[in-house]
Amino acid sequence: MNNSDLPCRSAGVCFDSEGRAEISLWAPHASQAELYLVSQNAYLSLQSHSRGFWHLTTKELKPGGEYFFRLNGGKHLPDPASLSQPEGIYGPSQAIDLRGFQWQDQDWKNPNLQDYIIYELHTGTFTSQGTFAGIEQKLDYLVELGITAIEIMPVSQFAGERNWGYDGVFPFCVQNSYGSATGLQQLVDACHKKGLAVILDVVYNHVGPEGNILAEFGPYFTEKYSTPWGNAINFDDAWCDAVRQYFIQNALMWFRDFHIDALRLDAVHAIKDFSPVHILKEIRQQADELEKQSGRRHYMIVELDLNDDLYITPTAQGGYGMEGQWIDEFHHALRVTSGQEKIGYYSDFDGITSLAKAYTDAYVYDGQYSEHRKKTFGARAKTRDGKQFVVFSQNHDQVGNRMLGERTSELVSFEMQKLLAGAVFVSPYLPMLFMGEEYAETNRFQYFISHTDAQLVQMVRQGRKKEFGDFHNDEQVPDPAGAETFENSKLQWKLPDQGDHKIMLDFYKRLIAIRKSYASLRNLNRDDVRVLQVNAEDGTLILFRSCLGEQVICLMNFSDQPKTISLDHNTNNWEKLLASSDREWAGKQELPSPVSTLSGLTLPAESISLYINKL
């Protein structure tokens, strides 16, 4: 089905089949609303409708035309549902026809979620160009690596040209410095041609601090709640119906007009909504209706700091219907197991015993007392599929929210990096990489902004210094507004062909190929996963995976000394699939293959080894 056959947005400017601009604006407290056409220096009046909506159908505004809104004869304001801000957040909005793009992905089918191997990237730092076109040039690299889905950090228009994306102020508008709407459509089309699904990170819990004009049009925010980033979005207070539709329409736009395959919804625990139907559930229900019309499948994955599977329970079972969630606890347990510091929320994790629980239970805290939170925390998630949990050894938050933005490549040894990668890929969950980790990128990923408000910039600088006041006393907090902080965060594409970086890249390729090739590792049925042994004193963990008579045993040694295992498992004829300590991977010890028993095998320090037995 063509996009033109599907319903258009009910927010902002949309062009009908005859080229007329259908304009919808929500401004419930205005007594007059006008459209200002920049090129004609002319005003057109909008007509008032019920519940604070204003409408206009006109041929005067054409695709490419720039415009503002004016309320009650006041100042010019960009469109809160703007699709294009070619001059940035303070300039005029530009009318574009999203449905005019000529898609070539008619044969594309979104893969089953269990087949997702996710690669998270930031458009501005992934390549030297810092654009969607730059990403497109690296798609063959990602395909060769074995990636099946890329996850793009937020692209909604923000102040300046440098930002992680979580300060977006025009949720419908694609950042102009990245390539704007057409650039994103072209990238998605190119990804689908290469067999790659596209996940887009969106932010529905707050709006950025600079250029946020939503409150000038209506009560988009509520004082009932607060968030760590500013005013809470009004999902359940007076006038919330229009606000809810605004964000529902946003989600549907990405699916319908950009052919996005999945949304990653940022920090949904900060979405405050006590309505009878939670906003996430309503978005899922509306997306289900769109799927019936388009025939395309769309997923929603949430970042959630609550161990509550209500969010990922299907709507038919009373849940919110999200298909998956990030599991930070797996990362925290893995990081502590690798010997990194137990500070802040990491102090809640007992290292390898927590990791063992994460492999089988997903949530580490599912009803235990959390010393860090000072309360009993979490609930069990035994009925949820493994494909509903996304795990990783690093991501943009866990790297970039460190004061200096150090990657794992700087924090642990080369051998430990291989072990961490293997620990993720043998899990019964969806694996995710953070850009550059596959070749041990050495450039840090730091926090950066390019706000134009000098006072705001100073507040951000002071906030970062205060946040890290007790750490790294001998080092300076990188200037978040400095261009060098952004430039130093870009990937170095010369590295994948060099020395240990190439070895690491080849190791990741082999890991991913093994994950795809063997049913016992592809299978995400959590009932087929067992921790055969966990030894906190030795730092060893033995994980068992099985499917259709195929068995894989994953032998992990997180200690800095060789450890001999004793394993009571009554099968024989084990073939080695992979050993990170082998010389092929710049290791120092070849593990034997085949072996009649794994008991008595000595595991090299900081290593992971996989053995298979087919009954």
The CATH code of the domain that includes 601 is 2.60.40.1180
- Whether the upstream peptide bond of residue 431 has omega within 30° of 0, thus cis, is no
In this structure, the dihedral spanned by the alpha carbons of residues 24, 27, 33 and 39, taken in order and rounded to 10 degrees, is -60
DSSP-derived 3-state class of residue 91: coil
The pLDDT-based confidence of 336 (bands split at 50, 70, 90) is: very high
Q: At what angle do helices 328-337 and 414-425 cross, to 10 degrees?
A: 150
d(CA 219, CA 29): 9
Q: What is the mean pLDDT of residues 79-104?
A: 96
Task: Please check if 472 is assigned to a binding site.
Answer: no
Any domain includes 606: yes
Task: Please check if 176 is assigned to a binding site.
Answer: no
Per-residue confidence (pLDDT) for residue 133, from 0 to 100: 98
Task: Please check if 107 is assigned to a binding site.
Answer: no
The pLDDT-based confidence of 614 (bands split at 50, 70, 90) is: confident
Any domain includes 60: yes
Q: What is the mean pLDDT of residues 389-418?
A: 95
Task: Please check if 401 is assigned to a binding site.
Answer: yes
For residue 615, pLDDT over 70 is answered with no
pLDDT single digits (tens) 4-21 = 566 778 889 999 989 999
CA 420 to the chain's CA centroid: 20
Amino acid at position 589, single letter: Q
Catalytic residues: 266, 303
Q: What is the mean pLDDT of residues 408-416?
A: 96
Any domain includes 64: yes
Rounded to 5 degrees, what angle do the CA atoms 286, 290, 291 make?
A: 115
Q: Which of 79, 218, 220 is CA-nearest to residue 157?
A: 79
d(CA 580, CA 595): 17
Last residue of a domain, one of 73, 100, 127: 100
Decide if 410 contacts 398 (C-beta within 8 A): no
Q: Cite the DSSP H helix spans in 339-432.
A: 352-361, 396-400, 408-411, 414-425
Tokens of 363: 């949530």
Decide if 610 contacts 543 (C-beta within 8 A): no
Q: Which residue has the tokens 């609303």?
A: 33
Task: Please check if 471 is assigned to a binding site.
Answer: no
Question: For 22-26, 206-210, 231-235, 570-574, which range has the lowest pLDDT when averaged over its residues?
Answer: 570-574
Task: Please check if 330 is assigned to a binding site.
Answer: yes
Q: Largest Cα–Cα distance of the chain, in whole Å?
A: 84
pTM, entire model? 0.97
Decide if 315 contacts 289 (C-beta within 8 A): no
How many angstroms separate the Cα of 196 from the Cα of each of 116, 119, 131, 144, 322? 9, 10, 18, 11, 21
d(CA 432, CA 303): 13
For residue 3, pLDDT over 70 is answered with no
Q: What percent of the chain has pLDDT over 90?
A: 89
The pLDDT-based confidence of 195 (bands split at 50, 70, 90) is: very high
d(CA 84, CA 97): 10
The pLDDT-based confidence of 432 (bands split at 50, 70, 90) is: very high
Any domain includes 249: no
The pLDDT-based confidence of 231 (bands split at 50, 70, 90) is: confident
The pLDDT-based confidence of 229 (bands split at 50, 70, 90) is: confident
The pLDDT-based confidence of 230 (bands split at 50, 70, 90) is: confident
Any domain includes 234: no
Please enumerate in sequence order all residues whose Cβ is within 8 A of that of 295, keeping only pairs 6 or more positions apart, or say none: 1
CA 224 to the chain's CA centroid: 28
d(CA 14, CA 253): 11
Q: What is the mean pLDDT of residues 90-108?
A: 95
For residue 570, pLDDT over 70 is answered with no
How many angstroms separate the Cα of 3 from the Cα of each of 156, 255, 258, 365? 21, 10, 10, 44
For residue 559, pLDDT over 80 is answered with yes
Q: What percent of the chain has pLDDT over 70?
A: 98
Rounded to 5 degrees, what angle do the CA atoms 188, 269, 357 make?
A: 90
472 sits in the region (left: phi over 0; alpha: psi -120 to 50; else beta) called: left
d(CA 592, CA 575): 9
Per-residue confidence (pLDDT) for residue 422, from 0 to 100: 98
Task: Please check if 268 is assigned to a binding site.
Answer: yes
What is the average pLDDT score of the chain?
Answer: 95
The pLDDT-based confidence of 611 (bands split at 50, 70, 90) is: very high
Amino acid at position 249, single letter: Q
Number of structural domains, the chain? 2
Q: What is the mean pLDDT of residues 132-155?
A: 98
d(CA 399, CA 495): 19
* Sign (positive or negative) of CA dihedral 269, 272, 278, 283: negative
Per-residue confidence (pLDDT) for residue 607, from 0 to 100: 98
DSSP-derived 3-state class of residue 548: coil
DSSP-derived 3-state class of residue 575: strand
DSSP-derived 3-state class of residue 497: helix
d(CA 218, CA 220): 6
Tokens of 361: 């239970």
Residue 610 phi, psi dihedral angles, 5° rounding: -120, 130
Cα Rg of the chain, angstroms: 25
Any domain includes 575: yes
Task: Please check if 265 is assigned to a binding site.
Answer: yes
The total of other beta-carbon atoms located within 10 Å of residue 474's CB is: 4
Q: Which residue has the tokens 């087919």?
A: 614
Q: Which residue range forms the structural domain that includes residue 588?
A: 529-614
d(CA 177, CA 88): 9
Task: Please check if 400 is assigned to a binding site.
Answer: yes
Per-residue confidence (pLDDT) for residue 321, from 0 to 100: 97
Q: What is the mean pLDDT of residues 564-571?
A: 83
The pLDDT-based confidence of 469 (bands split at 50, 70, 90) is: low
Last residue of a domain, one of 100, 133, 154: 100
Per-residue confidence (pLDDT) for residue 590, from 0 to 100: 96
Task: Please check if 332 is assigned to a binding site.
Answer: yes
Decide if 489 contacts 445 (C-beta within 8 A): yes
DSSP-derived 3-state class of residue 340: coil
Please enumerate in sequence order all residues whose Cβ is within 8 A of that of 403, keeping only pairs 6 or more positions apart, or say none: 464, 467, 468, 471, 472, 475, 477, 478
How many angstroms separate the Cα of 236 from the Cα of each of 171, 247, 249, 258, 540? 19, 13, 17, 29, 49
* Sign (positive or negative) of CA dihedral 191, 147, 140, 438: positive
Any domain includes 521: no
Amino acid at position 163, single letter: N
Any domain includes 12: yes
The pLDDT-based confidence of 471 (bands split at 50, 70, 90) is: low
Last residue of a domain, one of 42, 77, 100: 100
